[in-house]
Amino acid sequence: GTKQWWFGGGTDLTPTYLDEEDAVHFHKTLKEACDKHDLKLYPKYKKWCDDYFYIKHRGERRGIGGIFFDDVDSPSKEEVFQFVKSCAKSVVPCYIPIVKRHCHDSFTPEEKLWQQLRRGRYVEFNLVYDRGTKFGLLTPGSRIESILMSLPLTARWEYMHNPPESSKEAEILEVLRNPKDWVH
């Protein structure tokens, strides 16, 4: 007899290497979408994203953040739906300029190795911690292939891999271990 509703969603950026211009653009675009509804939403949902995408056994985040929210059921169904639509409409403007800026970038075999290691972290998060993935895997009759299709086609793990200090790889690890405020 009772009806329940809630909204959830989000988006985050998981680059292999840190590009501060990309990070600022991504976060500012999300902040603008949130600010149309309430100035408190972006900081709240950015923190939620940083906390949610934390890989506890690694002490780092999956990426450089974004926004994330779940079980949101106020102020009203229509207001939350308008907020979610604003966020959804911001995804393309968040990502496309970054893709266009980097689609022709060259890379070395060492950079490709680092990419594969970062993809391994993405897999770890999704299979070990992600609520949606775990829910899907535990749902009777679910199509496992559909759930696992969100994982990268290739990934890599190396035992106790640590990049050299002051390297580009160490630079992004610093941000993954200590989230940054990209918009202030």
Domain ranges of the chain: 7-177
* Token output for 120: 């391994």
Domain spanning 7-177, CATH class: alpha beta
Give tens-digit pLDDT for 97-141: 999 999 999 999 999 999 999 999 999 999 999 988 988 888 999
What is the per-residue pLDDT for 1? 74
Digit-coded pLDDT (tens) for 46-101:
999 999 999 999 999 999 999 999 999 999 999 999 999 999 999 999 999 999 99
Global pTM reads 0.93
Biggest alpha carbon–alpha carbon distance for the chain: 60
User: What is the percent of the chain with per-residue pLDDT over 90, rounded to a whole number?
Assistant: 90
Q: Which two tokens stand for residue 94?
A: 């968040």
Task: Grade residue 3 by pLDDT with cuts at 50, 70 and 90.
Answer: confident
Reported confidence tier of residue 4, pLDDT bands at 50, 70, 90: confident
Classify 83 as helix, strand or coil: helix
pLDDT class of 2 with cuts at 50, 70, 90: confident
pLDDT at 174: 97
- Separation between Cα atoms, residue 62 and residue 126, nearest integer Å: 9
pLDDT digits (tens, 9 = 90+) for 137-171: 889 999 999 889 989 999 999 999 999 999 999 99
Cross-strand partners of 10: 68
Instruction: Quote the Cα angle for 133-65-118, to 5°.
Output: 65
